[in-house]
């Protein structure tokens, strides 16, 4: 399938209730915070991981939809698959001197790994498969309002070792926020898609993964996370018809009537407004959720 021919931007909103959307390992796994505003943060890496996980389930064993960046995967072994498929002998840390062979290696990685042709990858390891700049990029997600992390003490009635049998219980802690609505901006470049082979089928799979991002990612810390709104901006041209920030400004999140002045407790406390009339000429807008 041929690569996409239109540039896109999108606004994605999701929320969490009594959970931790993205723990910070440098802060005891507390929810990530912007220290200047106390707004919650979710990294692009966190969201891409969930997209990868969904694609892996949705297109399991389907050619062209393998996942390059898997848990505990050995990246050099992933690169060796391209060398073996093309019958090329790898040279440590170097691409083949033949530029055509080097290009074929990188193209093979794009063709066979969804996340390489979508997000790109730096594959210049000991077994060198080149470098790919991906057409799909995500910014950090930020909560609409400041959030307050809570530390909740928990107990475990079982013990790990026999020597601890006399202990009544083991203490532990969880970090959560009561409620937070998060907003993230995303970008899809048609020009870069043509270099990686990112197709219309891939694009639809990306939208599907965002809509279902949390449906197969449940855990005690993320039991109540939900995708709330996905607004797409489609340009008529490959290079685009308007600056991305102008499009993002047409989507505003407001407090619902009667909810202002108090901490938000649910999605009903917000109102999302898409000003379609303010969208510049040459760009169409669509709401998928």
Torsional class of 240: left (φ above 0), alpha (ψ -120 to 50), beta (otherwise): left
Alpha-carbon gap, residue 233 to 12, rounded angstroms: 12
Torsional class of 40: left (φ above 0), alpha (ψ -120 to 50), beta (otherwise): beta
Alpha-carbon gap, residue 147 to 181, rounded angstroms: 9
CA 203 → CA 24, 68, 161, 231, distances in Å? 30, 18, 50, 14
pLDDT digit string, tens, across residues 246-268? 999 999 999 997 667 788 999 99
CA-nearest of 41, 16, 13 to 27 is: 41
DSSP 187-227: EE-HHHHHHHT-BHHHHHHHHHHHHTTTTT---SSSTTEEE
Alpha-carbon gap, residue 287 to 231, rounded angstroms: 5
pLDDT of the chain, 289 residues: tens digit per residue: 689 999 999 999 999 999 999 999 998 899 999 999 999 999 999 999 999 999 999 999 899 999 999 988 899 999 999 999 999 999 999 999 999 999 999 999 999 999 999 999 999 999 999 999 999 999 999 999 999 999 888 877 777 777 776 766 677 788 999 999 999 999 999 999 999 999 999 999 999 999 999 999 998 888 799 999 999 999 999 999 999 999 999 999 999 976 677 889 999 999 999 999 999 999 999 999 8
Instruction: Please tell me the pTM assigned to this model.
Output: 0.93
Sequence spans of domains, the chain: 8-148+175-287
């Amino acid at each position: 399938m041929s690569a996409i021919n239109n540039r896109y931007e999108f606004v994605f909103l999701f929320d969490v209730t009594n959970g931790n959307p993205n723990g910070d390992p440098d802060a005891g796994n507390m929810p990530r915070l912007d220290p200047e505003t106390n707004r919650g943060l979710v990294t692009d890496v966190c969201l891409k991981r969930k997209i990868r996980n969904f694609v892996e389930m949705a297109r399991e064993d389907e050619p062209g939809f393998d996942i390059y960046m898997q848990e505990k995967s050995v990246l050099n072994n992933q690169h060796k698959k391209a060398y073996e498929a093309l019958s090329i002998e790898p040279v440590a840390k170097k691409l083949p001197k033949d530029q055509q062979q080097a290009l074929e290696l990188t193209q093979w990685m794009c063709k066979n790994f969804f996340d390489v042709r979508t997000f790109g990858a730096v594959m210049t390891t000991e077994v060198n498969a080149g470098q790919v700049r991906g057409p799909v990029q995500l910014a950090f997600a930020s909560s609409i309002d400041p959030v307050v992390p809570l530390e909740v003490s928990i107990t475990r009635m079982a013990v790990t070792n026999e020597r601890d049998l006399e202990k009544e219980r083991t203490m532990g802690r969880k970090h959560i926020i009561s409620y937070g609505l998060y907003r993230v901006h995303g970008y899809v470049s048609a020009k870069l898609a043509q270099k990686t082979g990112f197709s219309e089928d891939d694009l639809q799979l990306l939208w599907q993964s965002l809509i279902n991002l949390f449906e197969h990612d449940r855990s005690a810390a993320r039991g109540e996370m939900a995708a709330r709104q996905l607004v797409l901006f489609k340009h008529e041209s490959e290079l685009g018809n308007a600056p991305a920030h102008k499009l993002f400004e047409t989507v505003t999140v407001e407090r619902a009537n009667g909810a202002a002045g108090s901490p938000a407790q649910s999605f009903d406390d917000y109102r999302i407004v898409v000003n379609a009339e303010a969208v510049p000429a040459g760009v169409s807008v669509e709401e998928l959720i």
